[in-house]
Structure 1
Amino acid sequence: MKNLFLTGLLGLGIFCSCSNEDDPANNGKLNEGETYAQIVLNLTDSKAATKAPTGDTGSTDAGTPSEQAVKDLTVVLADANNYVQAIYAPTLKTGGTDAADRATEPFKIPAGQYKVYVLANYNNQTKGAFNETLAVGAQMDQVLTIADASKLHVADNFLMANDNLVASVTDFTGDAEDTEVNDDLAEETDNPQKVHLVEVNIERVVAKVELDQTTKTIDVEDVNKNKIASATLEGGALINLNKYMYMVREAKTATNKPSGTSTWIYPQDPNYNKKLTGAGDEADWLTANFSNPSATSFTDFTSAPTFYCPENTMQADAQQNGQTTGVVYKVTYTPESTAYTELAQNGTSNYDQIFTAILGLGAGTMDADINASIFTTAESDGKTFYAYNDLIFKNKKAAILYKSIAEATGADNAAKATAANTAFTSNKGKSGAELDAIKVYEYTAGVSYYTAWVKHNPAGSNMQQDKFGVVRNHWYVLTVESISGLGYHKPTFEDPEAPDDKAEANIQVAATIKAWTVVKQEVNL
């Protein structure tokens, strides 16, 4: 992933000096003697202001200047076991002629042997993203609790870190032979220092999800290619954001990778090995590990909505609706007139005959809210409809009456009519959670929701390891290509234990990935 985003060229200058530079942040010396260090970052293609990814899954894109900007650097020296020994906030040089490169002023460090980690923009707003604070004595591979994920991707201050945790130990006790450089990577001409150069790659710690949608209204067709509704995409939102992360990812490649790619990373995050398996209280379990289990606000499609989120990967059998980062699409669903379910008085079907028998119960016995036009009367706004058992009804009472008829028992249609009438009276006043409990769902103003689980390997086979999830510094581009049925009535998933790959899906999304590695995903709703 060396050139996926930022190629950081670290120049660490070592020599004895009597300079008055500030002492390291830990205010202590690790070993006898002191030396100086300098860091140089080469920001690949930083001048490109890419608005949309160009290319297929596995291609790379530098992103926008705001996504690449480096305002400050934090340098961490760790021992061979990754325990932090010292932390520095060196000053960045100014005045370079090439905005693609940044360099620090030389700064003092104790001589020794260290692993070198570099964090970009950590001393700005991104530090407040975590409950924990990086400190001397801590481990670089500690689990960090994300207190505010939005601070990981503040404009011009995206948090960046080494591209893997396997940093080699660098010896800063020998003589340096390279020369100090400026922002443009040209050698310093004014009393230059001799430096060591150590190469380190850094990357953004968040993933990027873009909803690239040109076609906003899609015809919904049945299996016979008959139009049954129009679906208009109104907006999108992310759900299931990981609450935990590592500052630096592990260097783990995917077991299964997209065709045409050579190296495909799929690191293990702190939640990787967890799986929801009928936990005593699913809500508590999910809340403890993931945030945003449902969408509360949506970004419209005036322009392609773009979201940033923490890394979220998982073992194959943990690829479940309650754990995988996904996109909720908000859709206005307008059924065709022929798509509504109706029962007719004196009709030929068994349900028609039970309906006719109910109408024959007469005043005083038949519920007063039942009449011959109950199935043809729309809700007052003309848009709200109800669903029961995948059937669509023009109003709530029609859906409840149909359910009552479908579940009625008795020796004959007359007995079933009496039972259905009684059940209708019992259920007709229900709403909200009580209505959901009897499997009658309200689609207020015709709004339906569809979830598309983000795929790291869009072409992967069913529930294959590494198929779902989001990985840092990857750009997932999703496009809805088709919608084949009614979605859910809530902006979330129905069953958190449901597998991400299911036998039947009513959304199909095309996806691409950039490093920003691009992942393109076609979505069929």
Structure 2
Amino acid sequence: MRKIFKNMAWTMAATLVMAACSDSLDESSGNGNSNEFIGDKGYVNIGINLPTTPSTRSESFDDGKAEEYKVDKVIIALFYGGTEKEAECKCAFQLTDKDFLLSDDATNNITSYYATGVRMIPAPDANVYALAIVNPISKFNVGTITSTNPDKENVGDATLTTYLTVDEGSGANKFKGTLSDLNKVIAPTAITDVTGNSYNYFLMTNAPISTKASFTGSKPGDLEIQTLAPIKVYNDKALAEGASKDNPIYVERAVAKTQVAVEGNDATLTVTTDVTSYKNATVKFEGWKLQNTNKKYYPVRRVNALDSETDLADINTWLGYFNGNESNRFIGTTPNPYRTYWGIDPNYDKNENDEDLSKDYTVLKSVNEGDWNEIGYSGQDSEIEYCLENTTTAQTMAENRLTSVLLKATFTPDGATASTSFFMINNTSAIYTEEEFLKVATAALKGEDALIGNEELAVKTVSTGFNITDATGVQSLLQINGGTDQKLSDTQAAAILAAAGGNIKYYLQGITYYYATVIKHFGDTETPLASDVINDAKNYDEGKHLGRYGVLRNNWYELTIKSVKGPGEPEIPEIPVTPPDKKESYINCEINILSWAKRSQGVDL
């Protein structure tokens, strides 16, 4: 048996039991109870289960960090209505970690909790559904009506008068709408708004789950996808006190998690290639960062299109997508619960050429030295970085819309001393020492541009590497020593650039940056390609390739750098506006998803 909120995997389930004593509720109400209810009051009891999250399609299990399971506060919002879609929020109440005790039926993949308190609620005249908001952000809170019996409300001896409040920026207001009304886009100022400043206060909300396991062929007629948890209602407080396990609510964290490691005993790999100038070179990885992360999220994962999104395929369509004889990839096979494995983010179907993509994604142009994440290797765990989920339709899977990994490393050619600067020119694989490059540059200066007297070219003292494609860049990197004017003339700079084939790369102290592969979600196993090359995102097949790339909340992505074929770029590279499968990347990665749900990806550079 596990300790409370420790050593548990990435998802959490909350079990709510609502007991009411009012109008008659029978099986047709959807609450699964045929008791007769008299009056206008009912009771609520809460239980929370924290299951280990399935990691891959084989759904193995693993744990994360104890801090990722800490629960300080839970808001339970109750929705009343004929269906989940039309149900409206009627009341809400708040629990703290002191309200929960460990149950006696923990298993390898479930750690169960139940609440010690019972709440009395207004009796429903239709179905009751529950939404759990665990570790709520400041936008969500519980409001109160002046009550003469607050203590009685907390023990279920008086009807709840508390309700859900939502602050859209102008103050908290009582919320009475549907889940769709509640689930509006949020743009946090930092990821810690969602994880807590110390990464121990993760926002968690209901996970969409399936009532049936994954399948082949036609979808079972009784299969449903549920986000709000349907609640079974009882007619007696004593029944509520003993029924905390009857109504599970499975919740998931609102972020994804990534780690990056190098395959081997340290963070250094030897280049494997037939290119002569790269042979036996070494690459020591210094750090990594997530690149092109989403700036926006929904507080609850979306799997359904809105009524206004008439052209957007959602889970009702995804359940008809198959690859060969494989079962449907969007639902799991492990029961209690059968999980779903995709979602719709706030910029899900934007085109890669949209001019406003910078409003949706954070693109790193520079990284302060102390901000790089430590990379892992054998015996050394990688530092963790959390991010918001980032998903797309298959035909908008372009690299500038997908989250990827940026790597910093030191490239040392065979026989060179580590941290030695070098040049590459003319978009070739030849590597030049500083002395060799200056000879090439000097030889390019002829006639009126030639050096005279004691003049000689030198590399300026700079703080970063350069990728030079114009004369101004040459003037920023090189200077003339021994003369009256250190600055190269425009014609001198142009002559040097022309001699270098129009491109000069300067690797200061051997520092190089790799734009590694974008992160795979389903990857090659569940979304294989018929061709190795996709030149246009529109060539992806929605049915066969949806979810090939992307990051989904509550998933743990682990990338392992397996090999390197050459140097990367001397500056942080631009993100291509091309499909990820257009060409081979510098890095070969293997991606795993651990529990939470853990996916692994190998990367060759």
TM-score (norm 2): 0.61
Deviation at 1:287, TM superposition (A): 2.4
Q: Which residue of 1 aligns with 2:553?
A: 472
Deviation at 1:103, TM superposition (A): 2.8
Q: Which residue of 2 aligns with 1:197?
A: 246
- Mapped pair 1:451 → 2:545: no
Which stretch of structure 1 is more off in the superposition, 117-126 or 33-42? 117-126
Deviation at 1:161, TM superposition (A): 1.1
Q: Which residue of 2 aligns with 1:208?
A: 257
Alignment-mate amino acid for residue 64 of structure 1: K
Deviation at 1:55, TM superposition (A): 8.3
Deviation at 1:88, TM superposition (A): 1.8
Alignment-mate amino acid for residue 289 of structure 1: D
CA distance in 2, matches of 1:292, 1:486: 22
Deviation at 1:249, TM superposition (A): 1.7
- 1:106 corresponds to which of 99, 102, 118: 118
Q: Is the 8 A contact 2:343 2:552 kept in 1?
A: yes
- 2:406 corresponds to which of 324, 328, 332: 328
- Mapped pair 1:166 → 2:221: no
CA distance in 1, matches of 2:233, 2:99: 29
Q: Is the 8 A contact 2:506 2:570 kept in 1?
A: yes
- Mapped pair 1:425 → 2:464: no
Deviation at 1:82, TM superposition (A): 4.7
CA distance in 2, matches of 1:176, 1:33: 12
Gaps in structure 1 of 5+ consecutive residues: 17-30, 47-52, 182-186, 188-193, 346-350, 390-394, 402-420, 431-437
Alignment-mate amino acid for residue 185 of structure 2: L
Equivalent position SS for 1:328: strand
Q: Which residue of 2 aligns with 1:489?
A: 570
Deviation at 1:451, TM superposition (A): 2.1
Q: Which residue of 2 aligns with 1:14?
A: 20
Any idea what the Cα deviations from partners look like across 1:212-247, whole Å, max 9, x if unmatched? Answer: 334411122433576163211000111222222222
Q: What does 1:274-293 align with in structure 2 at a 5 Å threshold?
A: 274-277=350-353, 279=354, 282=355, 285-293=356-364
Q: Is the 8 A contact 1:56 1:518 kept in 2?
A: no
Deviation at 1:140, TM superposition (A): 2.2
Q: Is the 8 A contact 2:70 2:200 kept in 1?
A: yes
CA distance in 2, matches of 1:327, 1:130: 34
Residues 505, 96 of structure 1: CA spacing in aligned structure 2 closer, same or farther, 3 A cutoff? closer
- Mapped pair 1:239 → 2:291: yes
Deviation at 1:92, TM superposition (A): 4.9
Q: Which residue of 2 aligns with 1:175?
A: 235
- Mapped pair 1:5 → 2:37: no
The number of residue pairs the alignment matches comes to 442
TM-score (norm 1): 0.70
Deviation at 1:476, TM superposition (A): 0.5
Deviation at 1:71, TM superposition (A): 1.8
- Mapped pair 1:137 → 2:176: yes
- Mapped pair 1:157 → 2:197: no
Any idea what the Cα deviations from partners look like across 1:360-386, whole Å, max 9, x if unmatched? Answer: 74xx55145999x97xx88779x9876
Equivalent position SS for 1:445: helix
CA distance in 1, matches of 2:588, 2:453: 40
Residues 500, 370 of structure 1: CA spacing in aligned structure 2 closer, same or farther, 3 A cutoff? farther
Equivalent position SS for 1:511: strand
CA distance in 2, matches of 1:318, 1:130: 33
- 1:499 corresponds to which of 575, 579, 582: 579
- Mapped pair 1:307 → 2:404: no
CA distance in 2, matches of 1:269, 1:227: 43
Q: Which residue of 1 aligns with 2:43?
A: 36
CA distance in 2, matches of 1:467, 1:369: 62
Alignment-mate amino acid for residue 18 of structure 2: L
Which stretch of structure 1 is more off in the superposition, 70-79 or 133-142? 133-142
Percent of counterpart pairs with the same letter? 21
Alignment-mate amino acid for residue 276 of structure 1: E
Q: What does 1:350-389 align with in structure 2 at a 5 Å threshold?
A: 361=447, 365-368=449-452
- Mapped pair 1:524 → 2:604: yes
Residues 293, 355 of structure 1: CA spacing in aligned structure 2 closer, same or farther, 3 A cutoff? closer
CA distance in 2, matches of 1:15, 1:475: 44
Q: Which residue of 2 aligns with 1:23?
A: none
Deviation at 1:398, TM superposition (A): 13
Residues 175, 505 of structure 1: CA spacing in aligned structure 2 closer, same or farther, 3 A cutoff? same
